[in-house]
Structure 1
Amino acid sequence: MSSSHVLVLNCGSSSLKFAIIDSSSAKEHLSGLAERLGEASPQIKYKVNGQKHIISLSNGDAHEVAINKLVELVKSLKLDQQLVAVGHRVVHGGEHFTKSALITDTVLEAIKQTANLAPLHNPANLLGIEAASAAFSKLPQIAVFDTAFHQTMEPTAFLYALPYALYEKHGIRRYGFHGTSHYFVSAQAIEQLGLNDKPSKIVTAHLGNGCSVCAVKDGKSVDTSMGLTPLEGLVMGTRSGDIDPGLFAYLVNQLNYTAKQIDTLLNKESGLLGLSELSNDCRTIEESAAEGHEKAQLALDIFCFRLAKQIASFAVPLGGIDALVFTGGIGENSDVIRASVLEQLSFLGFKLNNERNLAARFGNEGVITDGVSVPTALVTPTNEELVIAQDAAMLAGEQ
């Protein structure tokens, strides 16, 4: 195929993130976000040729309307004739998928069966697939799974110490998420550090409103911090991360919480927001901490401590650490958090270079430790959309 342009869709419960990307050159021809879908005042914000635009939708308009408007936009910009595929981000692939897949009836059914493991995400992903399949009926539709990269984990890493029947009958195990991001930045680090033909032990830290860490050995995920759901692991923007499971019984029996209230508490009211009582936005918390806000400082301290502890623990499955990669909105921009984490990991040999750390913000990348530091720490901007575009173009070409 002469063209390698792919429409990338990331469909949430009330939003639709989209982009048209040249999978060969990584050039982004169109990008945007349809937000507040199904609610009041939905709209589509998009950028093309460096210019930002807004399309207003009617109250209550949902995903199908947004995708139809997107089709009109793509055609008006004359980008439709260059498309070779539509690539969909699908959060949970369970054990069905170890790699991206051309969407068929069988694949759709498997995604639907996995929806009970990701009830907030997979149904929304399915909405996007169905709407895009109708709107772009002549294009192959490709599913790229957040969980696929972690399917190389061994049972010692992915099984919970629960009755084995829960895994056999219901698939209850650790799956991990942010797989496309961990795959992309670990591959970039291996290339940058000249480890292509050598054994490599990389820890990748994807830090945003959702946070996870991954142990990548010789290019394969061997452990990760998230589990059955994206709630396990690190302190996040509004998610608690690891807690004592006994808390559930305490909240139910002593405080009369319902299951729904507990879910809301742990997923939407905890993390940086719950600790600081200010915000889930790391920038706001850092600014407040610098001004002397004690709970903001406490939230940052706990965030960094738990992150450093998780990173250090991955020396076990890796047998050591060659490099640590920071990525995601926080990982790419917060020199404060990176400095705190590396200071706590100094016993492993990390030596922070303050000038490099300050320079590696706002889209800049590079090594942030001294040249003599072993292991190395670096900042690498993630590009999950490019991974989706490349996988979609490859699978479309195999038809």
Structure 2
Amino acid sequence: MNIKNIRELFPILNQQVNGHPLVYLDSAATSQKPVSVIEAISQYYREYNSNVHRGVHTLGTKATDGYEAAREKVRRFIGAASTEEIIFTRGTTTSLNFVAYSYGRARLEEGDEIVINAMEHHANLIPWQQVAKATGATLKYIPLQPNGTFNLDDVKKTITERTKIVAMAHVSNVLGTINPIKEVADIAHRHGAVLVVDGAQSAPHLAVNVQELGADFFALSGHKMLGPTGIGVLYGKKALLEEMEPVETGGEMIDYVDYYDSTWKELPWKFEAGTPVIAGAIGLGAAIDFLNEVGLDNIHAHEEELANYALDVLSEIEGLEIYGPKERAGLVTFNIDGVHPHDVATVLDTEGIAIRAGHHCAQPLMKWLGVNATARASFYLYNTKEDIDALAAGLKKTKEYFGHVFE
């Protein structure tokens, strides 16, 4: 994979920030977009902007074809059995809420169990808190090991015959931990539970096959995988989706409407009320084309190399603590002794380096780590070792600056 050629396809990277070349290390929050994705969205608006599944005119037909072609691209990308199992949503958060409210609330009752763990993003935690409160179900946590992983013995002890739902991130957005989803799915299914997977941080970086993983539901966001914001996907096994009621109702998701009752369209459209994010779906399709051309295995290998390099380089900085396991996805989360993460990010920004600072929508994990916030540098296919060298140099300057301030 020729990184230089790839970087040239991302216009936003070819700029200066605060007088320095941009070093973008915040792809776990949102990825940058290649020219092909930008042009696909622009082409839709310039040449065939129209609603889908409605008009029989030429523009409407072309828009519908583009929208449904994107659904098929998603299906192949994550290995779903049918496009009926691919629901377009606003993003991972919306997808997980759909499952919690349409599936969870309808099936859980007092005494049932929902199993999660402390590394979950709020999007895969708060909906289950709300479901537990509404139904009387119990929320249970798989204990974490000191390095931010968990072992399967603890999974087996936590999941019981009363467990109905297990919700888990495929990859932690803070620690970079890659969780053993297939093994957890096997344990959950042996107890009759369904597995809900937050794939926001895995789908952009790892080759995913939802059937091989054993996921019953899988959620992802387009903007983290080179696509536009406002578009995401909920995968659900067809048998489960058919049992579920729509979360939103209105136009386009109906089959027949009478004065006092209505019936719904077949899958997947019964979950897509109103005008969908058409340009977003088309842009996501273009992003998938780009990722397929580069190759997910190549992307993962490149990010693994960057993560290992970052661990080596950053661990040499005195007073810098890195969180998470050695084997990880392409991100590094850390703190510098005596310097708040927001101050770290602010100083780095003056050097043109963009990182994330805060609780990363994972406050229970921050509590488990014993901190209020952390700094995070996350990598993608367009990053280089030179970016990490710039980060290391910026962190050393940050230490020097605050060392002088507090002397």
Q: Which TM bucket (shorter chain)? A: under 0.3
**Could you state the TM-score of these two structures normalised by the residue count of structure 2?**
0.24
**Could you state the TM-score of these two structures normalised by the residue count of structure 1?**
0.24
